[in-house]
Amino acid sequence: MTPLRRMRLYQLASQALPIGGYSHSHGLEAAIEAGVVSDEGTLAAWLADLLQFSVGSYEAPLVVLLCAAWEAPDAARIAALNAEFLATRETAELRAATVQMGWSLRLLLAQLPDIPPATLAVLAGISEPVLPCAWAAATAAWGIGADESLLAWLWSWAENQVLVALKAVPLGQSAGQRVLGAVAPRIAACVQAAVAAPRTGDVPRRRSNFSPALAILASRHETQYSRLFRS
């Protein structure tokens, strides 16, 4: 990867990206309220479980497939994968989060000088672009491979979760960095498995986000009395 492409990827993965990611906990705040996550160890376990049963087993392979669809490009395939991801959001807040951030990223990409008009046109044709779809559109437009795109996606997700915990548990900065260090090998393994899955024909088995406890917690967040985050 060239230095410029690497900087584009850093820009996309930054928590400073103006798409509203800081306002969402993706169910973690409800887990903190319920006592599921209460310290450094339980936060590390939360991230490990999500990588195994939800984010890693469903979102990761989907991002790889979206990257391939954007590289093709295959507008019909892109729209189908976007609709599939939207259908898997099990609560109103989780659905609203990915649509809000996807819409915001689409708007941001339209303001940048190096996104091809054809990419923007395909995105504009999707009424509710989800965040993974807009993310894959950006990395494909910048010539970033699926493996690097997914690595940055998962790191950005993990960093978001740690920042949520720092505010809501709360945890110290050093504890947060230890958790990120502990989850890094799991993220690397997840990327390797997700990138290999389409080539081995093992995509259907790997694309699963059956995690009812997460869905229940995320649903409870909708009526949580006191909260900092939108999801």
Which pLDDT tens digit goes with each residue over 91-134? 999 999 999 999 999 999 999 989 999 999 999 999 999 999 99
Rounded to an integer, what distance in angstroms lies between the CA atom of residue 140 and that of residue 63? 11
Asked if pLDDT for residue 229 goes beyond 90, the answer is yes
- Structure confidence at residue 205 as a pLDDT band (50, 70, 90): very low
Residue 203: predicted pLDDT? 45
Stated pTM of the model: 0.95
Phi, psi of 89 (to 5 degrees): -80, 115
Give CA separation, 31 vs 45, 51, 90, 169, in Å: 12, 16, 16, 10
End-to-end CA gap in the chain: 35
- Is residue 67 a contact partner of residue 136, using CB atoms and an 8 Å limit? yes
Residue 210: predicted pLDDT? 85
Asked if pLDDT for residue 184 goes beyond 50, the answer is yes
Rounded to an integer, what distance in angstroms lies between the CA atom of residue 9 and that of residue 21? 16
What mean pLDDT comes out for the span 32-42? 97
What mean pLDDT comes out for the span 202-231? 83
- CA-closest candidate to residue 180, choices 192, 196, 200, 166: 166
Which pLDDT tens digit goes with each residue over 128-179? 999 999 999 999 999 999 999 999 999 999 999 999 999 999 999 999 999 9
Q: Going from the N-terminus, what domains does the chain have, and what CATH number goes with each?
A: 23-221 (1.10.4190.10)
